[in-house]
Amino acid sequence: MKIALVGYGRMGKIIDEIALKRGHEVVARLKETPTAENLNNPDVVIEFSLPEVAFDNIKACLENKIPVICGTTGWLERKDEVEKLAVENGTAFLYGSNFSLGVNLFFALNEKLADLMKNVDEYSCQLEEIHHIHKLDAPSGTAISLAEGIIKNNTKFDAWKLEETQEKQLGIFAIRENEVPGTHSVYYRSEVDEIEIKHKAYNRNGFALGAVVAAEWIKDKKGNFTMKDVLGL
């Protein structure tokens, strides 16, 4: 495949290495806004940039009828617009708050546990995410996905908020610490015990590999997808 990388920071560079190892050609490495000219006619775009430019980057690619794999978080209030653009332009869009296989299995486990706990009133729930100090958005997209998975499966909660859980608002503690790639925990606490599930990333390679696998999967498809589609979860 011919892959264009839009956003060429730390994640972009790791994706570049993995894509080349898997036999793909990287035809563009962009820090600027993508155009028909500087994208160099790729089969797919992998977009890991910044929240303030992600929408414009994705829009430009979809309008050029190029499928987009997006891992940028912090811009999701405009996700509906992007999904509409993908359909209108006869191409494909896949957003992932986290592309690692382990995290997507963790998402499924989180939803199952939320369903099991929905009628057990003795337990309160709290989320915690820890990331490196360079991460600009808080809470992380992964933490938001976890919160949404709990809200969907547990009627005790109808929204999420930063900091501590209060009544029907599910709390997320967002911690920024050194060079932590990403640690996510879900706690259910009662007066007598605690249930915890946790995913801890050791490095960013899992995120990058998942993004490339998603790019391989989405080629020649049309519509809007998630990693659940890629992994058959």
Binding residue per annotation — 91? no
CA dihedral of 69, 91, 78, 105, whole degrees rounded to 10: -40
In sequence order, the β-bridge partners of residue 196 are 187
In sequence order, the β-bridge partners of residue 84 are none
Binding residue per annotation — 199? no
Per the CB < 8 A criterion, the answer to whether 174 and 139 are in contact is: yes
Binding residue per annotation — 183? no
Binding residue per annotation — 168? no
Binding residue per annotation — 232? no
Residues labelled catalytic: 131, 135
Q: Give the H or E element holding residue 25.
A: strand 25-30
Binding residue per annotation — 35? no
Binding residue per annotation — 132? yes
Binding residue per annotation — 119? no
Binding residue per annotation — 141? yes
Dihedral of CA 178/148/115/119: which sign?
A: positive
Binding residue per annotation — 156? no
Instruction: List all residues 6 or more positions away from 62 whose beta carbon is below 8 Å from its beta carbon.
Output: 68, 82, 85, 86, 89, 91, 93
Dihedral of CA 111/115/118/123: which sign?
A: negative
Return binding residues for NAD(+).
71-73, 96-99
Return binding residues for NADP(+).
31
Return binding residues for (S)-2,3,4,5-tetrahydrodipicolinate.
132, 141-142
Return binding residues.
31, 71-73, 96-99, 132, 141-142
